[in-house]
Structure 1
Amino acid sequence: MKVLVIEDNESVASMLELFFMKEEIEGEFIADGLQGFQKSLSSEWDVIIIDWMLPGMDGVTICRKIREAKNTVPIIMLTAKDSESDQVLGLEMGADDYVTKPFSPLALMARIKAVTRRYQNVNKGSQEDKGILKTQHFQINKNTREVFLNGELIANLTPKEFDLLSYFAQHPKQVFSREQLLEQVWGYEFYGDERTVDVHIKRLRKKAGVENQPFFHTVWGVGYKFDEES
């Protein structure tokens, strides 16, 4: 596994470097944001870990630019910011997950394995499955990772939004708790912040909804369901 870490805190970088050695992970550490962004585009990575506050270019900008370059590599944000608005911003810019400092290396390792496992499973499925998933309003191409709503391409879905929409479309009208969605779509058992799911549902409603028909419904006290008829 090759992991790029863009982090200017020497103690955090040193801790991760030692842990990566133990886990036999090939890690490259860069302290400058602009240099880190350039490195993210020049090599193939299994996952990129980005600190929020960086010299040269901040982590949110790096994340946004990586996605603008059509790079679907899994991204985990490291942040000392714990406000909901900050976490929402990171996810909206295309991050797959975030970890709030201070953090346990074991917890971060679980997130790394989860996002890379999910990414690999999606790619494997894309190679094996030649079909296109069609629902009443959606056409989902798993090979090209394109989604059409009533024949119109939804051009700005993030990788995780695509995964979540695809999962819902394969399980119409089935109600899922936030914990179940985290486990099935993000790939790890829940021990973090449920707002990760809420943010992605909110974004899907905005990007993949039509007037008076959000498709992604809240089931109060339980979670969410995908229903094109209600």
Structure 2
Amino acid sequence: MDKDVAVVIEDGEDIRELLAQVLTQAGFTVHAAAGGAAGVDLVRQHDPVVVTIDVNMPGIDGFEAARQIRMVSNAYIVMITARGDEIDTLQGLQTGADDYIVKPFRPRELRARIEAMMRRPRELAATHPTHGSAPRPSTPSPMQQSAPQGGMAATGPLPWLEAPGADVTWLEHRGLRIEPDARVVELDGAELELTRSEFDILRMLLGSGRRVVSKLQLASMLRGERGERDQYLSEHDARAIEVHVANLRRKLGESPADPRWIETVRGVGYRRTA
């Protein structure tokens, strides 16, 4: 995976040029395509670290393009679309997208979201190889190299997490086992495939003990921020957290009405079951 390469898949020429400009200014070499099939080919050719995908395209739409890309790449995927319906947010995140931005968007917001993703571990686990190879160590990206010192390190402790003992490298609860450093999740001995966001949310909830973790804290964590500095949770971020948790529960096979691992605290957020 090339840490300096990004791929833009967007059928609108003006938006495509804007995205390419934003990513170029962030230090990436950008390759752009006007359609899904051509975009997937670019990902295969250049092995980028970041891919932006428009949802509403002729031929292969953004959802199908994201599915095909996820089969061959661990690149960070940002879905960018004019649609704002919940079903589109759900479908976009289920295909493996790391974030979802609705048009019209601010270039500064897009760059900030990508910077946040770049501060999180790139590799998912051994179950998510790139081009069939074993995961490789994370390498600083252009954005990581220029990231502010106050940003959250990819593997650094979160201020609201309970730190495990020095000789403990895993978290375990009711048959669910997480190895944070290896980014591996096992349920009753069987390995689960989670997206980056699902893994980070699960790690945060299990690592917080019985303390309630708010949606704002989860959104801040995914954005790479420490704490709740701005005390603001957008509707988009709140819905994204709800979708990630719903997807996580589906993969775990638990019901919100009778949870085995994740309790919903109405109006606040979530916490680990007793």
TM-score, length-scaled by structure 2 = 0.73
Overall identity of the aligned pairs, in %: 33
Match of 1:47 in 2: 50
Once the two structures are overlaid, the 10-residue window that deviates more, 114-123 or 143-152, is 114-123
Match of 1:220 in 2: 266
Other structure's SS at 1:50 match = strand
Comparing both structures, which one devotes a greater share of its residues to helix?
Answer: 1
Tell me if the contact between 2:5 and 2:30 (Cα under 8 Å) persists in the aligned partners: yes
Match of 2:10 in 1: 7
Q: Partner letter of residue 59 of structure 1?
A: G
Match of 1:38 in 2: 41
Tell me if the contact between 2:116 and 2:222 (Cα under 8 Å) persists in the aligned partners: no
Tell me if the contact between 1:37 and 1:66 (Cα under 8 Å) persists in the aligned partners: yes
How many Å separate the matches in 2 of 1:210 and 1:90? 22
Alpha carbons of structure 1 residues 41 and 166: separation in structure 2 relative to 1, 3 Å: farther
Match of 1:23 in 2: 26
Match of 1:204 in 2: 248
Alpha carbons of structure 1 residues 210 and 104: separation in structure 2 relative to 1, 3 Å: closer
Alpha carbons of structure 1 residues 24 and 205: separation in structure 2 relative to 1, 3 Å: closer
How many Å separate the matches in 2 of 1:5 and 1:214? 40
Alpha carbons of structure 1 residues 130 and 76: separation in structure 2 relative to 1, 3 Å: farther
Once the two structures are overlaid, the 10-residue window that deviates more, 114-123 or 94-103, is 114-123
Other structure's SS at 1:53 match = coil
Of residues 150, 166, 172, the one that matches 1:134 is 172
How many Å separate the matches in 2 of 1:29 and 1:6? 6
Q: Which runs of 5+ in 2 are unaligned?
A: 125-137, 139-153, 157-166
TM-score, length-scaled by structure 1 = 0.86
Q: Partner letter of residue 201 of structure 2?
A: L
Other structure's SS at 2:121 match = helix
Q: Which runs of 5+ in 1 are unaligned?
A: none
Other structure's SS at 1:55 match = coil
1:16-165 matches, within 5 Å, as: 16-69=19-72, 71-120=73-122, 123=138, 125=155, 131-154=169-192, 156-165=193-202
The number of residues matched between the two structures is 224
Other structure's SS at 1:94 match = coil
How many Å separate the matches in 1 of 2:176 and 2:24? 45
